[in-house]
Amino acid sequence: MNKETTDMAGQEALLQEYDLAGRRSKENHYYIVQSELATHSSKGVLKSTDTYRELLKVEPGNRSAGEADRFTCKRFSVKRGDTPQVTIPSLEGFSYDVNKDLLDASGIDQNGELYSVPEETFEGLVDDSGTKLPFEVGYQVYSAFYYYHSYTDYAEPTSQGSGIQNLRRIGDRTVVEGSFAESPLPGKLAKDSAFWKNGEITLAFNGLSVVDGKPCAVLGLDSGVCHWSMPMTYMPIMNLKTVGVSNYQADIHLDLETRWVRKLDMVLFEITTTTMWGIPVEKSIPVTKLAIWAISEDEFDRG
C-alpha cells in the first residue's frame, strides 16, 4: 500500500460513521480495576496515598432474555500509605449479579443497593493477617466495586435521552442523560439527607486508538462541576458532615469489535470540608485515579 492509498484510508477512517452502541459480545471478560486515593491538605501537602486493586471477572448474561451479568472478584488488595500490601480473604470469589433492566436512573436496584453490590459484605473487613480494617477503608473498598460500573456505564447506550448512541463521527459531543440530576449517596454511614448532584456531563468521540492490538474508539468524559453533601453518624458522639465539590474526567477506550471497555483512565478531583457538630475540623483535597484495563483469561488465572 503506497502513501497516497494509506492517507486516503486514514481520512476515510476519520470521516466515516461508527455504531458505538452496537451489541456487545457475549464472551467472558477479565479486568484489573485499580483506584489510587491521594489525600492532600488544604495547602496542597500530600498526606497519604492508598491503593485498592481488584481482579474482576465479568460473565455477560443474555440481556434480551432479561438475564443479569455476573461479576466475580478473584482477589482484592489494599496498600495504605507506607504499610505493606494486604489482601482481603472474604472477597476472594465474592460474586454479585447486576440486571441493568432492574436499576433505576441512579443505579439503585429493588433492594436499595447501588449496582446490586451488597453493602453488608464490606462491614468488618479483616485482612490476610487477621487485622480488622478501619471503617473508612471498608467504605473505600466498597466504593472501588461500584467505580467499575459508574464509569464503564458511559460506554453503553442509555435507555432514554442522550448517550453514546448519539456519537457517530469523530468530533461528535453530547450532553448525556443524568446531567444535573441529584441522587442519594450510597452507604449506610450516610444519612438520608446525603446527596450527589451532577454537573453537565459530556461525552465526546475524540478519536481512535489501538490497545493490545485491538482498534478502539476513544471517548472523552467530563462531569462538569458536581456538588455533594454527606452527613454521617459514626458512634453516638461523632456527628460529622462532609461537603464537597468534584469534577471527574476520563478517557474510555471502547473495543470496536466487542463493544466492551478495553481501557479506562479517570481522575476525580475533590475539595472537601468536614465539620463535627457544625465546627470545622478538616479541609482536604482528595484526588482519586481510577485505572481499568482488560487482561486475558491466562493473565487473570495467573494473577
Instruction: Say how many CA atoms lie within 13 Å of 161 toward its Cβ.
Output: 15
Higher pLDDT, residue 290 or 8: 290
Under a CB-based contact definition with an 8 Å cutoff, are residues 89 and 126 in contact?
A: yes
User: What is the C-alpha to C-alpha distance for residues 127 and 23, in angstroms, rounded to an integer?
Assistant: 40
User: What is the C-alpha to C-alpha distance for residues 51 and 247, in angstroms, rounded to an integer?
Assistant: 20
Q: How many residues does the chain have?
A: 303
User: What is the C-alpha to C-alpha distance for residues 53 and 35, in angstroms, rounded to an integer?
Assistant: 7
End-to-end CA distance of the chain: 41
Please state the three-class secondary structure of the chain as a single string: CCHHHHHHHHHHHHHCCCCCCCCCCCCCEEEEEEEEEEEEECCCCEEEEEEEEEEEEEECCCHHHCCCEEEEEEEEEEEECCCCCEECHHHCCCEEEECHHHCCCCCECCCCCECCCCHHHHCCCECCCCCECCHHHHHHHHHHHHHHHHHHHHHCCCCCCCCHHHCCCCCCEEECCCCCCEEECCCCCECCCCEEECCCCEEEEEEEEEECCEEEEEEEEECCCEEEEEEEECCCCCEEEEEEEEEEEEEEEEECCCCCEEEEEEEEEEEEEEEECCEEEEEEEEEEEEEEEEECHHHHHHC
pLDDT for 274: 87
pLDDT by residue (tens digit) across 184-202? 776 555 566 788 899 999 9
Under a CB-based contact definition with an 8 Å cutoff, are residues 207 and 237 in contact?
A: no
| For range 216-234, the mean pLDDT | 89
| For range 142-171, the mean pLDDT | 93
pLDDT for 81: 92
pLDDT for 1: 55
User: What is the C-alpha to C-alpha distance for residues 139 and 50, in angstroms, rounded to an integer?
Assistant: 13
Global pTM reads: 0.89
Q: Is residue 57 exposed (0-12), middle (13-18) or buried (19+ Cβ within 10 Å)?
A: middle
The β-bridge partners of 80 are 50
Check whether 256 has a pLDDT greater than 70.
yes
Under a CB-based contact definition with an 8 Å cutoff, are residues 154 and 175 in contact?
A: no
pLDDT band of residue 230 (cuts 50, 70, 90) is confident
Under a CB-based contact definition with an 8 Å cutoff, are residues 203 and 164 in contact?
A: yes
User: What is the C-alpha to C-alpha distance for residues 303 and 297, in angstroms, rounded to an integer?
Assistant: 10
